[in-house]
Every structure is written in C-alpha cells, then in structure tokens.
Amino acid sequence: MPDPLETVVYRTPLTTRFRGLDARDGVLLRGEAGWGEFSPFWDYDDVESASWLRAAQEAAHQGWPDAVRDRVPVNVTVPAVGPDRARELVAASGGCRTAKVKVAQRGPDGALEPLGAEVARLEAVRDALGPGGRVRVDANGAWDVDEALRRLPALDRAAGGLEYVEQPCADVAGLAAVRRGQRGDAAVPVAADESIRRAADPLAVVRADAADVVVLKVQPLGGVRACLDLAEQVGLPVVVSSALESSVGIAAGVALAAALPELPYACGLATVNLFVADVADPPLVPVDGALPVVRPEPSAAALAATAPDDETDRRWRRRLDRVAGLVLAGGAR
C-alpha cells in the first residue's frame, strides 16, 4: 500500500464509561480513496493490530465494494448502567428499534454484577423500546458455562425474549456448551464475536456448531473485503458491529453491512453517540433507526475539537510506524 497522504490523531472522552474506557483515540489516514481509521485498543499488541491497519489502508487507498442497500438498520448499545440511564440512551438513539445491552460485568473483586441489576436494566430497555422492540445481550466472554446457563432464563424473561446472547463465554467450547445446555424452544441463540475476530481460526466456531450468528468487525478482521470473504465461508447470519470507532471507522462497517447479500439483524454500528465529540461534522449517527451508506468527511473544526495532547499524538504515530513496518515486512497475521 502507498503511504497515506495525511495522518491525523484524534482523542475524545466518552459520554458513558464503556468496556473500561473513559476516552477513545486513534489515527485517521487519508489516501486516494478517502479516509480510513486505525484504532486498535491498547491491549492489542503490534501483531494483532496489523489487521486494523490493513482495514484502514483498504479504506484510504482502495475504497469499498458496491452496496446493495442505501441504509443499514442499527441497534443502540447500552453499557452496564442503571435503569434511568438505560432509558435515556434508548430515547436518544435516533429511533433505534433494537438494543444491545451489556451484561456479565465484573467488579474489581471479580464478582459479577448482581442479576437483579441486569434484569432491571433489561426491563428498562424493553419498556423504552416499546412494542416491537428487540433486545440482545453481550457478555463479552465474561461468563463461564454454568453462569451463562443460570442467568440467561431470567434475562430472556426480562427482555421479553432475547434475539441472541453475544459471546457468553470466552472460548469456542464454552459457546458450544451454552448452545447444548439450553432447553428446546426456550433456548437463546448464541452469537460469536471474540471467537471470530480474535481467533487464529475463525471457522472453528462453525466446525464446533458453537454459534447461530456471527458478529463481524471490519478493523479487527482486516477490512471490508476480508469480512465479505469470511461471511461467505462461515455461512451463518451476520451482524456487523463497531470497534468503538469514530465516524470514519464506522463508515467501513456500514460499507460492509451495505455490501452483504443478506442482512437479517440490525447492526451494532450506532456507537458514535457514545463520543463526546467526533471527527466528522455531521457525525455518522442514526436517523429513524438506520445509518446512511455514506463516507463522512473529517472537518477542520471537528478535528480541532478532537485534537489529542502531545504525548497521545506521539504515542499513536510511533505505534502506526511500528505496525506499518510489520505489515510491510509481511510479519503480521
């Protein structure tokens, strides 16, 4: 890939603590085709970050495949917050009719959040969505099999029926055990996320019959085209989700969702609402529960509002140089 024409580092606080983060940052790359985003979380090493850079390079220098739809339905994401805040997030979601609710949060002592708190959050979300709303939960692999099987029935009732549970356990064997361990018609479908995007062999989920749905994220999986190829190999329904990116990164997820032949579920791409400020004006946020298939352009004013401190800027540029060298040398998976 050619060198980017321009690189810009951004940083913004989050409106609500999410995945242990109070802020989000990353690098924007401008190329002949437009802007791409490189924003692996800081717990990713350089080798694992290489796929994120390949996705940014694809966006900046190649562009994306043709779309088969011009709007992508999306869900609102509700972190581990109280019922009142959960209602506020749904109300401010831009008309989303589906919600993904975080569960299985653990405190500093390793103890799970009380089941009653999760139930209250789900009931609040269900009520805020109103009739016809859909609810799914995401455990981010934090349960063991027994915890998942104990908690899912109560969460399913609180939601008025769950669409699915995303990554209930950390490994493929755990996902398969949760699928097998549920009872008949009351079984909650299982979606695989981390077992796809952080796996050396994403197809292990399919061979183990461990999931009903797969969640694909463009940056961790190396780009829109790589995700389309993987979706074809997996052969299961696909939900496209974000890696908590700016509007530039979200646009890549929208491009993937727009290019998939089938899109049976709302996608988890409405996370720019969690940013205090965004790199684009207007930001890529839902209208009537959907995102348009567009490429947002960073503006000078928005980039100024998301400008990082000097140390964050240097840290990201050093990281970009390291990972780019790794990709160029062919030493990345």
Binding residues for Mg(2+): 138, 166, 193
Q: Can you tell me the distance from the alpha carbon of 46 to that of 283, in angstroms, rounded to the nearest whole number? A: 29
DSSP state of 288: T
Q: How far is CA 178 from the centre of its chain?
A: 22
| Catalytic-role residue among 217, 238, 258, 272 | 217
Could you list the beta-strand ranges (E) of the chain: 6-18, 21-31, 34-38, 71-73, 76-78, 98-102, 134-138, 162-166, 190-192, 213-216, 238-240, 290-292
Can 102 be counted among the known catalytic residues? yes
Find out whether 9 and 298 touch, Cβ atoms under 8 Å. Answer: no
Q: Can you tell me the distance from the alpha carbon of 144 to that of 113, in angstroms, rounded to the nearest whole number? A: 14
Can 217 be counted among the known catalytic residues? yes
Q: Kindly tell me the sign of the dihedral angle through the C-alpha atoms of 89, 188, 192, 290.
A: negative
3-state SS class at 310: helix
- Integer angstrom CA distances of residue 148 from 108, 124, 139, 144, 160: 20, 21, 9, 6, 18
Find out whether 205 and 175 touch, Cβ atoms under 8 Å. Answer: yes
- Long-range contact set of residues 294-301: C-beta below 8 Å, sequence gap at least 24: 294/251, 294/254, 295/34, 295/35, 295/251, 296/247, 296/248, 296/251, 297/35, 298/8, 298/28, 298/35, 298/248
| Catalytic-role residue among 54, 87, 100, 102 | 102
DSSP string across 102-157: E---B-TTSPBPPHHHHHHHHHHHHHHH-TT-EEEEE-TTBB-HHHHHHHHHHHHH
Burial of residue 222, with CB atoms counted within 10 A of its CB: 0-12 exposed, 13-18 middle, 19 or more buried:
buried
Catalytic residues: 102, 217
